[in-house]
């Protein structure tokens, strides 16, 4: 099978991690950041929540906003009612940085998701040190042993893990390692097409006790309404907000649709 863009990106991150000589066993870190899962769960009574993303570029579309101001953009997201902010810290493929996350941390008091490609325990501990509330773990990029270990390290050091899946089989894997915060990426890894119907089928397989987040491809309130009605507690949106002339108003238009029932 032809390697996907994700495969290539993960390979570069594994090469970076192989050069990291730090011994994670001697590192002592503990987070006091707000819980992402708790913030999304507490919003259920008000309808769906929004995780708004600070995203400079994508591998498929190039620069979205090369010179964006992370502080200004994050503040506009919070003003629009975003329950959390996601920040890309991958520099090579997404133009992000750790500096972007730290700048955002200075201006908003909502939970932060570090959006990157986690391939080592040091990556998880780095996320804690940055002041993020959650780390991203992508099922298709990790072995089940890595997934379980990174998930446990995240929770034991005081942050949440958003476990990203693409289909029902991956959702079952996420549930098997005890994930209580699962993101369903609507975008196909090979074609990049958005498949809302597939995401809805995955949502139906996720117990209601788990916080479910729909990711990718949201360009309108109607698309968000559909995701909420299929049982997603929140949507993660980047491109639409980053390229908007009024991100505060656009975020507000994506918040608060009634959440349908799940398993």
Q: Who's near 262: CB < 8 A, 6+ residues apart?
A: 203, 204, 206, 207, 208, 212, 231
Token output for 190: 């090979």
In tens, the pLDDT along 126-152 reads: 999 999 999 999 999 999 999 999 999
**Among the ranges given (65-74, 191-200, 233-242), the one the predictor scored with the smallest mean pLDDT:** 191-200
Would you place residue 7 in the very low, low, confident or very high pLDDT band (cuts 50, 70, 90)? confident
Whole-number Å distance between alpha carbons of 212 and 199: 11
pLDDT at 73 > cutoff 80: yes
Would you place residue 221 in the very low, low, confident or very high pLDDT band (cuts 50, 70, 90)? very high
Sign of CA dihedral 113, 117, 120, 123: negative
pTM of the full structure: 0.94
In tens, the pLDDT along 16-55 reads: 999 999 999 999 888 889 999 999 999 999 999 999 999 9
Token output for 44: 């259920």
- % of the chain beyond a pLDDT of 90: 83
What is the helix, strand, coil percentage profile of the chain, to 5?
Answer: 40, 15, 40
DSSP letters, 116-160, are S---SHHHHHHHHHHT-SEEEEEGGGS-HHHHHHHHHHHHHTT-E
DSSP 106: H
In tens, the pLDDT along 153-212 reads: 999 999 999 999 999 999 999 999 999 999 999 987 666 688 889 999 999 999 999 999
**Active site residue ranges:** 53, 55, 115, 164, 185, 215-216
Question: What class does CATH assign to 33-253?
Answer: alpha beta
> Are 161 and 150 spatial neighbours (Cβ–Cβ below 8 Å)?
yes
């Amino acid at each position: 099978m032809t390697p996907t863009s994700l495969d290539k990106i993960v390979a570069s991150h594994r090469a970076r991690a192989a050069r990291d000589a730090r011994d994670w066993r001697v590192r002592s870190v503990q987070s006091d950041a707000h819980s992402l899962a708790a913030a999304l769960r507490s919003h259920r009574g008000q309808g769906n929540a929004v995780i708004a993303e600070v995203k400079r570029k994508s591998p498929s579309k190039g620069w979205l906003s090369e010179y964006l101001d992370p502080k200004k953009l994050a503040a506009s997201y919070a003003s629009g009612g975003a329950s959390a902010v996601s920040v890309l810290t991958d520099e090579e493929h997404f133009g992000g940085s750790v500096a972007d996350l730290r700048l955002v941390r200075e201006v908003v008091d909502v939970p932060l998701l570090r959006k990157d490609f986690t391939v080592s325990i040091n990556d998880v501990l780095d996320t804690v040190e940055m002041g993020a509330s959650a780390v991203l773990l992508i099922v298709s990029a990790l072995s089940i042993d890595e997934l379980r270990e990174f998930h446990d390290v995240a929770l034991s050091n005081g942050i949440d893990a958003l476990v990203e899946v693409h289909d029902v089989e991956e959702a079952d894997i996420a549930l098997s390692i005890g994930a209580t915060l699962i993101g369903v990426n609507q975008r196909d890894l090979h074609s990049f097409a958005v498949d809302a119907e597939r995401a809805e089928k995955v949502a139906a397989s996720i117990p209601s006790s788990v916080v479910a987040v729909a990711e990718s491809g949201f360009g309108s309130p109607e698309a968000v309404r559909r995701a909420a009605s299929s049982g997603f507690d929140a949507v993660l949106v980047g491109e639409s907000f980053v390229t908007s002339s009024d991100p505060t108003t656009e975020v507000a238009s994506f918040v608060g649709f009634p959440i349908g029932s799940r398993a």
